Chains A and B, each alone.
Chain A
Amino acid sequence: MKSSALNISENIQFRLFLLFAVGLLVYKLFISVPGTLVYMLVSDLLILLTIAFLFLSLISFFEKRKASPFSLIMNIGILNAFIFFLITFSNSFMSLLFDNVNERINNPSLTSVLVTLVYLLLIVGFVTYVLVTLRHLFFLRQSKSQQVYFITMIIFFILASLTAPYLSDTKFAFICDTFLIVSVLLMVINSLRISWIAFIVKKEKIALLILSIVIAILFIVNLNNTGEETLHSQMLTSFAPSVNEFASIVMLYGAIYFSVLFFTTLFHIPTAAAFDRKAEEVSSLQYFSKLITQVLDFKELAETVTDITTRIGSADASWIIWKDDEFVPIANKNIGFIDSEKISKFILKKIKWDDINDSTFIRLADLENKQELSQPYKVAAISPLRSYGDVKGLLIAVRIGEQKFSEEDKSAIATFSDYASVSIENSQLLEESIEKERLEKELDVAREIQRKILPEKNPEFDQLDISSVFIPAFEVGGDYYDFFKLSDSKLGFVIADVSGKGISAAFIMAEVKGIFESLAKTYLSPKEILIRANDILKHTLDSKTFVSAAYGIIDMEKNQMKMARAGHCPVLLLRGETAQPVKPSGIGLGLSNEKQFEENLDESTLILEENDTIVLYTDGITEAKNEDLEDFGDKYFTEILLENRKKSAEELSKKVIKEVSMFSHNHMQYDDITLVILKWKQKIKIDGEKEWQSSAPQL
């Protein structure tokens, strides 16, 4: 909406300009009472309005484009050259076109009016364009609004040009002189506001110095040419007297502006180099802050690092050799992979990875096959990138050609590599903490699964004192135990350990629970149950995963326990003062096919005696380690069990866990710990007769 409104007003301004230009022509052609004051005043007003509208439409044209001060100055230079040629042309060739110029001026014909008008419009156009460009230069990089100064100056320009032709030879000459003096004062004031000069680099400043003096001279020459005695000025004055005055004033303004510009630039030159470096430092700071925001993505960070290195170190190319990637170049900037790899190999041969403390520089002169490089790289700057004190990578910057890295470049690269190290370290810390968090979330899920799978409480029987303890490891293992109440007098129990750890082990454990839940209700022999479980798991588990398990059934009517073992730790039977491992043969679940599994699976049956204690456990107990990485061990385990055999199942279990945790308190618990204890109480028959069937366990 705004731009279309602007377009319309711009269009109107331009049309008004054309209208007044045509009006001027009509006025000149048809109303010819030359010499009178009113006639002259009307032409002046018409021409000033023409200029005004041209000025306005040119301003809105300028607003739309973002011109650099340099291109603006070039514009002014070119326009001045045009004006110069136009004036020279008019002075030398006009007389050839018309036999008697002076007479033509006083006594105009159609052609002479047309030619003069075209000439006038050209001059007016160029001069206005110069003024608008100067205005644009004036407003460039101004921090505060300086509109008032400029507008005041323009008003005085108009006043001075309007009054000069009519009052200069009268006693009121002081009026136009005052206007002129005020104009000149304002010109000087406005010319002093050249703030954009600080923002251009040294090279441009030198170019500007030459340009400004040339343009200032051009302005002075043009100003001189618009002097009263020239043909040019006569032509303009005859047409509209104030135009010539106006053109002169603008030329004067230009001359002053560019003279001031010349001296300003001259004073800026000695400090230009220092200023440039400061500016570079400021922009480097911006780069560094860019680094901080990019710690989230290592690859992106590496690319920013090499990008900035090429800029601040004035290098032709840059890359990083990173240790984790087997010294492969990464984040290549301005260089192909093959070139960077060749140079990297050469560098790694020349310097010792761990010895590099500071930035070093090596010449690539004795690089073998250097003619194979696509560019004649001559010198390389190498800076270590450290993380946690270790050199994790090398930041390489190379230069084509003979010019070495300057001291400033060296220190810039060295400083930057320190910053980059910090950023890389941060990035890795962040990555680690994200990974840790992810892992912890996963572990929480695994623990939750495990907690829900294991029985909430132990079943209760008159003849059995049962305790169970489960302690998960930090990195959840795959321990599982369960009880199945098969009838009022029959209890099934299982203990199992899934190979592997973490969430995958937890899921398999869930599967194993499902399998035993359903099999326990279908089959009444531990051997049969394990055979079926093996069938299922052999097909569902991947080849490297397996489950060790022991399954048993206690028949309280018969005082009998049957059990089978599939690769699990033996079940311990504490009887009297001995601990006997019950270890019928059997291969772990999921390891072998049906036939092989069945052929090698035995079942033990034992008749239970008063105070018989059955201990089920996983290797988390026997393989618990102390600070010297010694195992808790079977021997110590059975010793503790026997010493405390008279305690209740609960107390015995507590004692064992206490011993295990004391033994391994200086070492992380690496595997789940499961301990299930079943203590047999002989059933007292109602008639008071003890059912007493004793037999040695079949091992």
Chain B
Amino acid sequence: MAEFSTSVVDKGDISVINLSGYLDAHTAPTLENNFTELIDQNHFKIVVNFEDLAYISSAGLGVFMAYIEKIRDNKGDIKLTNMNEKVYNIFDLLGFPLLYEIFKTEDEAINKFSESDGIGTK
């Protein structure tokens, strides 16, 4: 199978996970590790950038479900950005846009975090 890789970049208090390649049942543990590490470090504001992701399977989608509850309990969120059409369709078919905020660009997602923070402090 094609390769899959991730990289994590911290932007302020927001962590951005960049995905690339094929995310399926076999490669999902890599992403799971990223989430586990971020949660261990109390990083709950997470943006996932799908720009270089070619394919996602149902098991790949499951990874986001596994951590969302814990992250939201800690006043954080997972926001998804930069999906290509094919990947978006898979998310859309399953109703994920109803469960997650999906943005066109990474900046929009980061701004959204900042905005809600702003609201929170007011």
Contact = CB atoms under 8 A, between A and B. Distances in A.
A492 interface: no
Contacts of B94: 546, 548, 567, 587-588, 591
Contacts of B57: 499, 671
B58 A500 contact: yes
A596 B93 CA distance: 16
Contacts of B68: 543
Please classify the interface of chain A as helix (H, G, I), strand (E, B), loop, or mixed, using the class held by over half of its residues. Answer: loop
Nearest to A629: B2
B65 A500 contact: no
B77 to A, nearest CB: 15
A498 to B, nearest CB: 8
Given A546-B58, A548-B94, A567-B94, A500 B25 contact: yes
A548 B68 CA distance: 19
Contact of A544 (B2, B66, B93): B66
A591 B95 contact: yes
Given A548-B93, A588-B94, A500 B99 contact: no
Contacts of A569: 93
A600 B61 CA distance: 19
B95 A592 contact: yes
A645 interface: no
A543 B98 contact: no
A542 B62 CA distance: 10
B93 A591 contact: no
A180 B14 CA distance: 108
A671 B55 CA distance: 14
A56 B21 CA distance: 87
Contacts of B58: 497, 499-500, 546, 548
Given A500-B25, A600-B98, A546 B93 contact: no
Contacts of B69: 543
Contact of A499 (B2, B62, B93, B95): B62
Contacts of A585: 95
Contacts of A570: 93
Contacts of A546: 58, 61-62, 65, 94
Interface string B91-116: 00111101100000000000000000
Given A543-B69, A546-B65, A500 B95 contact: no
A28 interface: no
A545 B95 CA distance: 15
Interface string B1-44: 01000000000000000000000010000000000000000000
A120 B93 CA distance: 112
A254 interface: no
A392 interface: no
A168 B48 CA distance: 116
A600 B96 CA distance: 11
Contacts of A542: 66
Nearest to A497: B58
Contacts of B62: 499-500, 544-546
A570 B66 CA distance: 26
Contact of B65 (A497, A543, A568, A631): A543
Interface in A585-599: 585-588, 591-592, 596
Interface string B56-94: 011101110110110000000000000000100000011
Nearest to B60: A499
A501 interface: yes
A544 B66 CA distance: 4
A586 B66 contact: no
A544 B65 CA distance: 5
Nearest to B59: A500
A340 to B, nearest CB: 28
Given A500-B58, A568-B93, A544 B99 contact: no
Nearest to A498: B58
Given A543-B66, A543-B69, A499 B99 contact: no
A349 to B, nearest CB: 27
Contact of B99 (A497, A566, A592, A671): A592
Given A500-B59, A546-B94, A587 B65 contact: no
B59 A499 contact: yes
Given A544-B66, A548-B93, A569-B93, A587 B61 contact: no
B34 to A, nearest CB: 14
A544 B28 CA distance: 11
B22 to A, nearest CB: 9
Nearest to A502: B25
Contacts of B63: 544
A587 B96 CA distance: 7
Interface string A521-563: 0000000000000000000001111101000000000000000
B36 to A, nearest CB: 13
A501 B59 contact: yes
A546 B96 CA distance: 12
Contacts of A568: 93
A544 B70 CA distance: 13
A597 to B, nearest CB: 9
A545 B99 CA distance: 15
Interface in A576-620: 585-588, 591-592, 596, 600
A664 to B, nearest CB: 15
Nearest to B62: A544
A568 B95 CA distance: 9
B48 to A, nearest CB: 15
A9 to B, nearest CB: 74
Contacts of B61: 499, 546
Nearest to A586: B95
Contact of A596 (B2, B25, B86, B98): B98
B8 to A, nearest CB: 20
Nearest to A590: B65
30 contacts: A499-B59, A499-B61, A500-B58, A501-B25, A501-B59, A542-B66, A543-B66, A543-B69, A544-B65, A544-B66, A546-B58, A546-B61, A546-B65, A546-B94, A548-B58, A548-B93, A566-B95, A567-B95, A569-B93, A586-B95, A587-B96, A588-B94, A588-B95, A591-B94, A591-B96, A592-B95, A592-B99, A596-B99, A600-B95, A600-B98
Give 6 nearest A-B pairs by CB, closest first. Answer: A587-B95, A544-B62, A499-B58, A544-B66, A567-B94, A588-B94
Interface of A: 497, 499-501, 542-546, 548, 566-570, 585-588, 591-592, 596, 600, 629, 631, 671
Interface of B: 2, 25, 57-59, 61-63, 65-66, 68-69, 86, 93-96, 98-99
Given A544-B65, A548-B58, 14 more contacts: A499-B59, A500-B59, A543-B65, A544-B59, A544-B63, A546-B94, A568-B93, A570-B93, A586-B95, A587-B99, A591-B96, A591-B99, A592-B98, A596-B99
